[in-house]
Amino acid sequence: MKAKYILTIALALGALMTGRGLAAMTETDERIAVSFKKTYVYQEYLKDDAIRLACTNGYVTLTGTVAFDSHKALAGETAAGLPGVKNVDNQLISKAERAAEHSDAWILNDVKVALLFHHQVSASKTQVEVKDAVVTLKGVAENEAQKELTAEYAKDVEGVKDVRNEMTVEAPAPSATQRMAQGVDDASVTAQVKVSLMSHRSTSIRRTKVSTQNGVVTVSGTAMNDAEKALVTKLATDITGVKEVINTMTVEQPMGK
């Protein structure tokens, strides 16, 4: 009788502890879902997409549709950078995925991505047209340097044969506000840097590791040459929210040396 009583108490305590554990996991999963929608990336780029996030014990599944392939990558990278996330299964579908690789539609998407996150160019004021892999840039640049940099970023997109820069230069009004770096969460910064590196033919996200702490970005991995290492630093530095870039990438030595 005493043994049966002890067993009953043990089972009750076990059930209580299990219930508390489940409650804690549910709370963590809910926090991840809430945190995702509070990120800079979600508020700035993804809020109009139909994204559903499900989380179980830190394992995130993203489903739904997004307007651009870059949004799919942004959502996945941002979710992966949130505290408590163990893995992300990105099942999002984008319109760009239906376009043939290196088609004009594909190139148009990638050029827009290349301009999207950089504060030294203006994606919103730049009109991009693509025909037979030739990119035409129209719209307004604040100065000649911004106009040239916009063309430089477009030229480095995979599949682009040529860039025609028809942008006009107009100085901004004195009251124009600039996007501030403060307040951008680290997960959003990391995601923007990674997706930016994906969009350039001269950089490789597969060989580059990116981490962010308090706005300071550290890039590591390997670069094919000094030019690629310098470009990674340049692209990362120009991302909204980045305060500093520490580049510890090693440069691969040519064969035979």
pLDDT tens, N- to C-terminus, the chain (257 residues): 444 444 444 444 444 343 443 444 578 899 999 999 999 999 999 999 999 999 999 999 999 989 888 899 999 999 999 999 999 999 998 876 666 666 888 888 889 888 888 888 988 899 999 999 999 999 999 999 999 999 999 999 888 999 999 999 987 765 443 444 457 899 999 999 999 898 888 888 889 999 999 999 999 999 999 999 999 999 999 998 999 999 999 998 765 55
* SS3 of the chain: helix, strand, coil, percent, to 5: 45, 25, 30
Q: Alpha-carbon distance 26 to 21, whole Å?
A: 9
Looking at residue 246, what is its pLDDT? Answer: 97
Inter-CA distances, 192 with 21, 72, 118, Å: 35, 12, 9
Looking at residue 106, what is its pLDDT? Answer: 84
What lies within 8 Å, CB to CB, of 44 at 6+ separation is 188
**How many C-beta atoms surround the C-beta of residue 25 within 10 A?**
15
Looking at residue 110, what is its pLDDT? Answer: 85
Q: Alpha-carbon distance 160 to 157, whole Å?
A: 6
- φ, ψ at 162 (rounded to 5°): -160, 160
Give the 3-state secondary structure of residue 252.
coil
Q: Alpha-carbon distance 14 to 61, whole Å?
A: 30
Looking at residue 23, what is its pLDDT? Answer: 43
Looking at residue 99, what is its pLDDT? Answer: 63
Which 8-state DSSP code applies to residue 167? -
Q: Alpha-carbon distance 162 to 155, whole Å?
A: 7
**Which CATH number applies to 186-251: 3.10.310.30, 3.40.250.10, 3.30.300.130, 3.30.530.20?**
3.30.300.130
Looking at residue 175, what is its pLDDT? Answer: 43
Looking at residue 4, what is its pLDDT? Answer: 46
Which class is domain 99-169? alpha beta
What residue ranges of the chain are covered by domains with CATH 3.30.1340? 99-169
What residue ranges of the chain are covered by domains with CATH 3.30.70? 2-95
Looking at residue 102, what is its pLDDT? Answer: 66
- φ, ψ at 155 (rounded to 5°): -65, -30
Looking at residue 100, what is its pLDDT? Answer: 64
Looking at residue 252, what is its pLDDT? Answer: 83
What residue ranges of the chain are covered by domains with CATH 3.30.300.130? 186-251
Which class is domain 2-95? alpha beta
Looking at residue 256, what is its pLDDT? Answer: 54
